Chains A and B, each alone.
Chain A
């Protein structure tokens, strides 16, 4: 009898240890108990027929905008957007390699999508009301804000007072392109072909400031001791996956995947994989997660909101 009790206790301890080990190895973040309940892959609507027939995705991503879309010296596409694309490939076809990337720029991404060259675009695509007239957006997958990159010696203060008479750079077709043309008619705006060209313009004094997404500029400012970010934060608008209009099945699939990734806190993991550790604290709030839900400012489109 005594031996049976001892045996039961030992078995119970072993089982408890096993259970503790299983639960303990889950990521120790908020919603850990929630995650342990979710299956690794959500229940997704059927994949759009064209993609299914092809057996792989064709996705447009940036190749000139670290840390979201860039190419390393071995020619591999990397970045936050690229990781999202790879996750779509994994859930659609079981392998992260079942995706062909097409490089797009800010200026060419919407044309590339509407002309049918790619299935969807995951390319730092900020939501704007104007763009939504031409393409559909998925639910948001990243939150970005606009910042100004300036030389260390410059103090900006209020945008409305500082901007007139200055020369700004950004990429063609970006939300900043639109916003400056709408709201700062006395600011001269120079378009550059890539974000890096904009950085150089500020460094070389060809422009007073570069207006671009915070995540990109933060890295630049951190690496360059002669440049800094002005404290102004504006145009805080999420990004979405770009989908062609009248493709409801595509939108359903993408939305379900983004929601699934959000519920499993996958965006935070992707962020940790793609940006250096010292920026994690600042950018954690930008990634959707079980605690953070992003929404498009449909009620008041930001590119029409001019600061006073």
Chain B
């Protein structure tokens, strides 16, 4: 009963990993390119819109809320296709790379907004009042009190969102962006080597995600807030 899986392992072409390292490396670079741009911009959007939501700035608050609800309640793949096929109709012609990071930015930004909003709202009221007592304007209070503390409260959730953004780059193969999964599919369809290709792909993604998670947990421990606030 188990002889087949053993047979697969025995006949596994280990040289495959070495032979395809160039192609996968190119794919990895593209994954990182789109991922990093997406994550950074999503953080930016999250900070700004999270502040808007937490401070309940009229008008902008509702707009931000609509953006967040639409993005969070629709699949990211549909959003990607909507952008990829829909923008050219409006006369906006973008390269695959641009659509790639734009789509994951829009998606990530909505989640980051919620993450930061929760973080800002979790800052104890008394700290802000202390700021006012010191003569801070609301803006200064936000920048000097809410933002640093709320931002760090939001750290775990925003980190999770970042990793999700990176994992979602895998979907970009469907719009022809040559990231890791695209490379795997390309190798498989031209060499007809299937099992080794997708095993390699899974191993590479796990390596990336686990390494990043470990690094970030380490950073998070350094940046964590002291217990008592």
Contact = CB atoms under 8 A, between A and B. Distances in A.
Interface of A: 106-108, 110-111, 114-115, 131, 134, 172-173, 177-178, 190-193, 197, 200, 203-206
Given A193-B174, A197-B176, A204 B189 contact: no
Contacts of A192: 176
B190 interface: yes
B93 A107 contact: no
A173 B190 contact: yes
Contacts of B185: 107, 172
Majority secondary structure, B binding face: helix
Contacts of B186: 107, 172-173, 191
A114 B194 contact: yes
A82 B93 CA distance: 36
A191 B176 contact: yes
Contacts of A110: 189, 192
Majority secondary structure, A binding face: mixed
A205 B85 CA distance: 13
Given A172-B186, A173-B189, A206 B95 contact: yes
Given A190-B96, A191-B176, A206-B93, A200 B189 contact: no
Contact of A108 (B85, B95, B189): B189
B88 interface: yes
A71 B93 CA distance: 29
Nearest to A197: B176
A114 B173 CA distance: 23
A192 B192 CA distance: 18
The 8 closest A-B pairs by CB, nearest first: A173-B189, A107-B189, A204-B88, A134-B192, A111-B194, A172-B189, A110-B192, A204-B93
Which of under 10, 10 to 19, 20 to 34, or 35 or more describes the interface residues of B?
Answer: 10 to 19
Contacts, number: 48
A201 to B, nearest CB: 8
Given A110-B192, A111-B194, 9 more contacts: A107-B188, A111-B192, A172-B190, A177-B190, A191-B182, A200-B88, A203-B88, A204-B88, A204-B93
Interface in B168-193: 173-176, 182, 185-186, 188-190, 192
Contact of B192 (A114, A178, A200, A205): A114
A205 B91 CA distance: 10
A191 to B, nearest CB: 6
Contact of A111 (B174, B175, B188): B188
A178 B190 contact: yes
A294 to B, nearest CB: 24
B9 to A, nearest CB: 17
A108 to B, nearest CB: 7
Contacts of B95: 206
Contacts of A131: 192
A219 to B, nearest CB: 20
Contact of A193 (B176, B188, B194): B176
Nearest to A203: B88
Nearest to A190: B176
Contact of A115 (B174, B189, B194): B194
Contacts of A177: 189-190
Contacts of A193: 173-176
Interface string B57-100: 00000000000000000000000000001001000010110000
B93 to A, nearest CB: 5
Residue from the set A114, A134, A172, A205 with the largest chain B CB neighbour count within 10 Å: A172
A200 B85 contact: yes
Contact of B189 (A106, A114, A197, A206): A106
Contacts of B93: 204-206
25 contacts: A106-B189, A107-B186, A110-B189, A111-B192, A114-B192, A131-B192, A134-B192, A172-B189, A177-B189, A177-B190, A191-B176, A191-B182, A191-B186, A192-B176, A193-B173, A193-B174, A193-B175, A193-B176, A200-B88, A203-B88, A204-B88, A204-B93, A206-B93, A206-B95, A206-B96
A114 B194 CA distance: 10
Nearest to B89: A204
B197 to A, nearest CB: 9
A111 B196 CA distance: 12
Contacts of A115: 194
Contacts of A178: 190
A178 to B, nearest CB: 7
